[in-house]
Structure 1
Amino acid sequence: MLQSSKAGQPLPASMTTVQFINDMDAILGGALTATTIQEMMDINVVLAAYKWLVCYLLKLSEEKYSTLLSQGQDQFSAKNDAQAFCLRELALTYIEHTIIEKFQSFISDLRDPQLVNVLQRLNTLFGLWSLEKRLGDLYGGGYCYKEEG
């Protein structure tokens, strides 16, 4: 998937939940723009953070795998070690992103404004609660903090 994206080949249309990988460089160049609690309560801010995090963890996983191969490990061992160190978090982050995105799509199809309001808050709460577990990667990768200059 990452190799296709790097080669400029778009991902197949059947993989709609990962289409954003095609814009990986632009996503990784971004940073958290929300500065207030109210701005953080926007589900689009949560989804943007998840997209950045998935791209970041995918990049880290690929770098780990390449490093292990360059250190002389065979492909099988390198994949196992990369999976143990990076790919588990990538998979969990991707699943959380997809859950939030699909639930948001479901919410947007509803007609009852009171129900939409409650479910929107629930989705945002779940997204922020889930992101809290990943703050180390968000800060470590520079998403929450970009140096000026």
Structure 2
Amino acid sequence: MRTEEILRAARAQGVMIATAESCTGGMVAAALTDIPGSSDVVERGFVTYSNKAKIEMLGVSPDTLAAYGAVSEVVAGEMADGALAHSAAQLAVSVTGIAGPGGSDHKPEGRVCFGLAMRGRATQTETQDYGAQGRAMVRGLARDHALTLLLDALTR
């Protein structure tokens, strides 16, 4: 299972993990903490659903939110960086998106932006467009992709 691999790799490297989640509402942290003994690797999780929470808990810039909107790679990057800055973790993943229903031509339903920050490395961001598959499916795909990003960061 992917989560067990993530925890094993993090343990082997002495890495603690933090999550910063919006549209997934804590699903990434929940997947990691479903495994008994994960507290030696999972440092904390931030559920920052509102813009105010992103600003207060993660230090996301209000100017960034105003210029790019919450569903953007720039915000995802700031969320991941903020999770590192506001924790004792060495690795953080962030998720922000439009799970649906809704969206717009500019930011369609199913668009999810991710950030990955690791001490000593440049923060990476990316966007996945899952399409209008329904809220539960988009959230599950986003959770799984965030876990893949963590595993890749720990094993490359």
Interval of TM-score (by shorter of Structure 1 and Structure 2): under 0.3
Answer with 1 or 2: which has the greater Rg.
Answer: 1
Which structure: greater helix fraction? 1
Which structure: greater strand fraction? 2
- TM-score normalised over the length of structure 1: 0.27
- TM-score normalised over the length of structure 2: 0.26
